[in-house]
Structure 1
Amino acid sequence: MRILGIDPGYAQTGWGVVESDGQHNRPVSFGVIKTSPTQPDCERIHFIAKSIGALALENKVTICGMEDIFFTKNVSSAIPVAKVIGACIHQLALLEIPVRLYSPPTIKSAVTGYGGAEKHQVQEMVRILLGFEKIPKPDHASDALAAALCLAVYDFAQIRMKL
């Protein structure tokens, strides 16, 4: 199964593709989609969603695990990310690719065993679990790979029966 992990962001959206059989996980590709603050909001959101769709097709993705919004005190920064999440879900739905949303503590727990893990601990476990020599960079790409691993850990058996 090919899993697309997404760390949604307005300026940078991280993505990572992992091949999983439920026991073994192998990295396929990863990176970030960047937008410019000089672009109009709608163009930025559309560009991210369109890029996610193209990456899903290019990498023959069968399912997506995406980090959900974890409510913070700064609601104004969460709104653009929520729009990116919605646009990505819509784009993937058009491609008939199911999406699973996970809270940051759920992703941390799946990757490190502890929902309150620090960012560097998650990144180190992503490195170890996927066999990288160094932590994947940029950070948003590493976070996206963690979202893909979360889906592989929590939902693999359930999803495999449906596919």
Structure 2
Amino acid sequence: MIVLGIDPGTATTGYGVLEDIGGKARLIDYGVVRTSSGTNQAIRLLEIHNRIEQVIQCYSPSVLAVEELFFSRNAKTAITVGQARGVVLMTAAERGLVIYEYTPLEVKQAVVGFGNADKRQVQAMVKAILQMKEIPKPDDAADALAVAICHIHAARLAKVRGTQL
């Protein structure tokens, strides 16, 4: 199973592509889609759609894992991130991917084993789990890889329990 993990954002959308080999994650690719703040919002969303479409075409994932939104302060940021997230979900649905959503707490617990882990702890564990030489950069790509790892762990647990995701 190929898993596409996404950390949505309007300025930067992170993606990570992992292969699930018997419950272990193998790194295939990761990166970001960047859009310019001086560009019309609709054009930025179209760029996110087009680039995620390219990633899907290139790697043929069967699953999209995406982080649920969590914002407590800035409503404007929440709205624009929500728009980017919606575009990602629509693109994945359009291509027939099965979509799973995880809370930030679930991602941190799956990757670090601790729901209050900070960003550096998550990045260090992503590096260790995927046997990378360096912490993946930028942060958005590392977060997308963490979401994909979370899905692989959740799928393995579901299989062990004899349940289905």
Cα shift at 1:156: 4.3
| AA partner of residue 119 (structure 2) | K
| AA partner of residue 85 (structure 1) | R
Residues 25-40 of structure 1 mapped to structure 2, 5 A cutoff: 25-40=25-40
Residues 62-101 of structure 1 mapped to structure 2, 5 A cutoff: 62-101=62-101
Partner of 1:154: 154
Q: Distance in 2 between matches of 1:156 and 1:82?
A: 29
Q: Distance in 1 between matches of 2:24 and 2:154?
A: 14
Q: Distance in 1 between matches of 2:93 and 2:130?
A: 27
Partner of 1:41: 41
Are residues 1:112 and 2:112 paired?
A: yes
Task: Decide whether aligned partners of structure 1 residues 96 and 111 sit closer, same or farther in structure 2, where only a CA change above 3 A counts.
Answer: same
| AA partner of residue 116 (structure 1) | N
1:29-69: CA deviations, max 9, x gaps?
00000000111001101110221121011011110111110
Tell me if structure 1 keeps the 8 A contact 2:111–2:125. yes
Residues 135-150 of structure 1 mapped to structure 2, 5 A cutoff: 135-150=135-150
TM-score, with normalisation over the residues of structure 1? 0.94
TM-score, with normalisation over the residues of structure 2? 0.93
| AA partner of residue 6 (structure 1) | I
Q: Distance in 2 between matches of 1:105 and 1:76?
A: 23
Q: Distance in 2 between matches of 1:72 and 1:155?
A: 29
Partner of 1:57: 57
| AA partner of residue 64 (structure 1) | L
Q: Distance in 2 between matches of 1:23 and 1:88?
A: 25
Alignment gaps of 5+ in structure 1: none
Partner of 1:6: 6
2:143 counterpart SS class: helix
Question: Percent identity among equivalent residues?
Answer: 36
1:147 counterpart SS class: helix
RMSD, aligned CA = 1.9
